[in-house]
Amino acid sequence: MKRRSLLLGLLATATTHVANANLAFAEKFPISRSDVDKVPAKFRRRSVRFYDDYKPGTIIVDTRKMYLYLVQGGGRAMRYGIGVGRQGFSWSGDAVIKRKAKWPTWTPPAEMVERDEFAAEWADGMPGGPRNPLGARALYLYQGNVDTLYRIHGTFVPSSIGKAVSSGCIRMINADVADLYDRVSTGTRVVVLRGRSIDADAEVPRRRRGKRLWLFGGRIED
């Protein structure tokens, strides 16, 4: 019995290593997991209670609180911290994801090329890579058949999460945008809010009488 358990344990370990190796091999460039530690705790990815009436699968961007929600149904959503457009460059509205890309090429729009030396250097396009402003993934937002030129994308500057610093796009740390990328498909509705915020609560552990009580309907553990 012990030998069988040992063999099963070794098999499980080997399977995990193979899966991790395949994942690493599938990535063109490494995605840093340490970026999570560089983001304030309140902006780290987590599942939350969600009270708005959007359909499951919808992406909601709350630019005031700087959160992106992927509605999951059952009163739940996956919440991600984001960086948003600085004053004068923010955007809001209803759009649809019509294109997805891994390690995308960055081609700055003409108006950015005119005002930014770095953008001007890459006016013809910057290949995907660790220093590319779009990061590890990009989701391209369209209204009808018109490209809004706004994206949900990664970043190699995790300290920008929770700040209004972009030229209007929604930025996420690479680990988060890769997670979101795998959860959504083309045709996904994206709602970028302005002037109001989403009604949602994070589940926060609280100690009470020697037990851990999860607020908002979570479980109690000894």
CA atoms of 158 and 177, how far apart (whole Å): 12
Write out the H or E segment, with its range, that includes residue 20.
Answer: helix 2-26
Helix then strand then coil, % of the chain, to nearest 5? 25, 35, 40
Q: What angle do CA 171, 34, 79 make, to 5 degrees?
A: 45
CA atoms of 129 and 15, how far apart (whole Å): 29
Q: Which residues are catalytic?
A: 153, 169
User: Which of 31, 69, 10, 61 is closest to 154 using CA atoms?
Assistant: 31
